[in-house]
Amino acid sequence: MAGSGRRMPQLGAGRKPAGLALLGWLDDPRAPRLCRVAGPPGSGKSHLLAWLVRGCTTEDTPGGRRIHAVLPAAGATVRTAVWSLGQQLDLVAHDPGPLVAAIAADGRPTVVCVPELDLAEDPAALVTGLLDPLLRLPGVRLVIETATDGPAARAFTGVPAAVLDLGEPQWTDAARFAAWAVEQGGDPARYPLPGPVLGERAAAPAPVPPVFAPGTELRSVGEEPLTALWTAAVAAGEPGPLAADPLLYALARPVPVTAAVERRDDALARAWRAAGPAVIEEPDPAVRAAVLRLRLLGGDTVAAAAATVLAQLPAPWAGRWARWERVDRDWPGPAVALTAGAGPYLSQVLVADPTGSVRTFDAATGRRLGAVVVPAPRPLRGLAVTAGGSTVLLDAWGRPELVVPAEPRPGLEPYGLMAALDAMAAAAGDLSAVAAIGGLADSAPALGDANGAVHWFEDGKVVSERLHHGPVTALAGTALGGGPLSDPEVPLLVSGGFDGAVRLWGPRSAPMPEPSDRRGCPVTAVAAGATAAGPVVAAAWSDGLVRVRDLGTGGVLDVRTGSEVWSLALAGTLLVLGMPDGLAAVDTRR
């Protein structure tokens, strides 16, 4: 189609006028921010929106025409809609309020397509609970599919809409429709409705839940039949025995499962809701089981039993231990900073909460061990432990502080550490990240700054490299050595940035020319470790994705928990994740 300098997919049934009208709505910033594609059954509403999505979600789509998220509303609840939109918009949200607030804070234009709105679990509730609040944001535009005068259309409050009613003839070219109908072997007199030409009926028959023979093992019937059972449970208003088997949660598609247990408040339903943003778009049942199992760890005996059942599905990663808010009394509070220990803290992880208190946990079991005595606790943005056991705190205002242990281990002594930190701080912009390499006894911590630079101190000199566009948001390091290709004790720094990039730099050489990873949202945490096969790097982004990359083997593992991940640490094969609502460790060996 003309007007954008690129070709859209073919649109049949004489619907070019309707397609041009939709593209014109996208192109016109003065148009109402709600566009409603309406029409009687068989008018091709879903087909037209599918065409729009195919043509406006590709990489070469002009910015003004881009569809940023697609919410298939059939069967959706407010909760599942929030989860799905959050993941597509690089956000983690469990409820409408935080999602709307995050989109408002972002401020960029956002276009959301909502097919089959009338088929949502409660269309009016979805409008009033989520879609209408979204439309109050000036940068948000919605294109939705509804019946001409259905309950969903009436639920929008005082929002002007551009209405494209496909039952009206002006949206269909009569001559092209007739030619298309003849090609299909249908009757051109059906103009302007393509559905009857193709033999569609006004209403599809209601789905019939499958019936199984007595004694059928539901875990083995397959995703489609099991999903149909959960859908029938939604219609009946009671999930019955389905809700007692954790594997049946993971083996079915998430939307009807969530709708069926919406009003339940047992440990399994709560864990499922906590896992929701991670499972809503996850196609692998084993991964859904792993996320649900992680959310059950650290709970009561019922939760523990459910977690054991879920371990039957072999996922690529497995939760080892977890401490969750409102579940575990040893939950340390939101983990704003986290680091693997060294020196006297070997085999431990240190966790800082929003007040600046620092607690220690056994890395292998999650058992709480003690605390680091901080002279004047204040909010922190970074935490590191040197080989000698000194703890380096970076506060929320970018000021470093050194906490020296009662019995320091071999390593750079405190005066030398503080001198190195002062030298790097003088060469840097506003400090934003800190990392220490526990395997290098005489090294000082590295620092990152708000200008995108990373700073390293060696031989009395500060070495700096600008690795990011925008602030360094995370920093980690590890020592390489002992292998046939490298000298002992070679430092490797890993940085993450607001620009979404993960960069590798051996400060004794030039940084890698390209990021080891890059995504479209800010990096929130990084971690680094070394194995016999080579270095391992983990990174988390603001949408909750954690990616573990084995640089020696090339293996990549993605992990989501259902929460944002604010901090990371690698302790052997365990990856420890610090989140606003929990602290957890996953085993990456699988």
CA angle 269, 275, 280 (to 5 degrees): 105
Of 560, 515, 556, 516, the C-alpha closest to 540 is 560
pLDDT at position 443 over 90: no
User: Which fold would CATH assign to domain 337-587?
Assistant: Methylamine Dehydrogenase; Chain H (2.130.10)
Of 426, 354, 434, the C-alpha closest to 400 is 434
Residue intervals of the chain classified under CATH 2.130.10.10 are 337-587
Q: Which amino acid is at 344?
A: P
Residue intervals of the chain classified under CATH 3.40.50.300 are 16-197
Contact 571, 581 (CB under 8 A): no
Q: How far is CA 85 from CA 7, 115, 261, in A?
A: 27, 13, 20
In angstroms, the CA 566 to CA 473 distance is 10
Of 457, 476, 384, the C-alpha closest to 416 is 457
Q: Over the stretch 361-394, which tens digit does the pLDDT of each residue have?
A: 999 999 999 999 998 889 999 999 998 889 999 9
Residues in the chain: 590
pLDDT at position 405 over 90: no
pLDDT score of 590 = 59
pLDDT score of 283 = 96
pLDDT score of 202 = 42
pLDDT score of 472 = 98
Residue 187's CB: how many other CB atoms inside 10 A? 12
- Reported pTM: 0.92
Q: In this prediction, what percent of the chain has a pLDDT beyond 90?
A: 73
pLDDT score of 332 = 86
In angstroms, the CA 71 to CA 255 distance is 12
- Give the least confident one: 3-17, 244-258, 504-518, 520-534: 3-17
Q: Over the stretch 175-228, which tens digit does the pLDDT of each residue have?
A: 999 999 999 999 999 999 999 988 864 445 566 778 887 778 889 899 999 999
Using pLDDT thresholds of 50, 70 and 90, give the confidence band for residue 84: very high
- Does the domain made of 16-197 have the CATH classification 3.20.20.70? no
Of 336, 458, 524, the C-alpha closest to 446 is 458
pLDDT score of 382 = 95
Extract the tokens encoding 98: 């935080």
In angstroms, the CA 496 to CA 542 distance is 11
Which residues does residue 568 pair with via DSSP β-bridges, in sequence order?
Answer: 577
pLDDT at position 570 over 90: yes
Specify the 3-state DSSP secondary structure of 538.
strand
Of 117, 37, 106, 34, the C-alpha closest to 70 is 117
Q: Over the stretch 295-338, which tens digit does the pLDDT of each residue have?
A: 999 998 889 999 999 999 999 999 999 999 988 888 889 999 99
Average pLDDT over residues 451-468: 95
Average pLDDT of the chain is: 91
Burial class of 554 by CB neighbour count within 10 A (0 to 12, 13 to 18, 19+): exposed
